Amino acid sequence: MRAEHSGTHVVLLSDPRPGKPLAAIIPLDDMAPDRLLAIERFIRSIANRHFPDARLTTAQRRRLGHMLRCLDGREEHASHFEVAAALFGRRLVSAADWHDSAFRYQTHRLMRDGLKMVEHGYRQLLRARRRLS
């Protein structure tokens, strides 16, 4: 049988049980190294040996979290000011200084970049950064 499209497929052939072996089959394409790393992280996680995901830095992960929160606020029809107050705290985000606030500009950038990620590009998060050789 030949697949007409690529994608992630999860198939459990029987009930997985603790202590019983599992199998993973991956396509040998340009994403194979990323899939192998994911399998290694999975194996280590079930053995309680943490293996950090190195695709994103801590700062990138935090920024992505802020972008998602901005998009959640947008979905709930919150104003940019309300989103900024939720992200950075009411003490730091002032209504009086909002027009020229750095938090205003940062919130706009987070919203813009979050929308770009939703429209296209979010799959790049799945790819590991590799050195060119």
pLDDT value, residue 14: 67
**Residue 22 belongs to what domain range?**
1-53
Tell me whether residue 14 is in a domain. Answer: yes
Residues 74 and 38 in one domain: no
To the nearest whole number, what is the mean pLDDT of the chain?
82
Tell me whether residue 132 is in a domain. Answer: no
Calculate ∠ Cα 63-83-90, nearest 5°: 100
Q: Are residues 98 and 107 in contact, defined by beta-carbon separation less than 8 angstroms?
A: no
Tell me whether residue 131 is in a domain. Answer: no
Residues 75 and 42 in one domain: no
Q: What sign results for the dihedral spanned by CA atoms 55, 60, 62, 63?
A: negative
Q: In the structure, what pLDDT confidence band is assigned to residue 84 with cuts at 50, 70 and 90?
A: very high
pLDDT value, residue 38: 83
In this predicted structure, the answer to whether residue 104 has a pLDDT above a threshold of 90 is yes
In this predicted structure, the answer to whether residue 82 has a pLDDT above a threshold of 60 is yes
pTM metric for this prediction? 0.63
In this predicted structure, the answer to whether residue 75 has a pLDDT above a threshold of 90 is yes
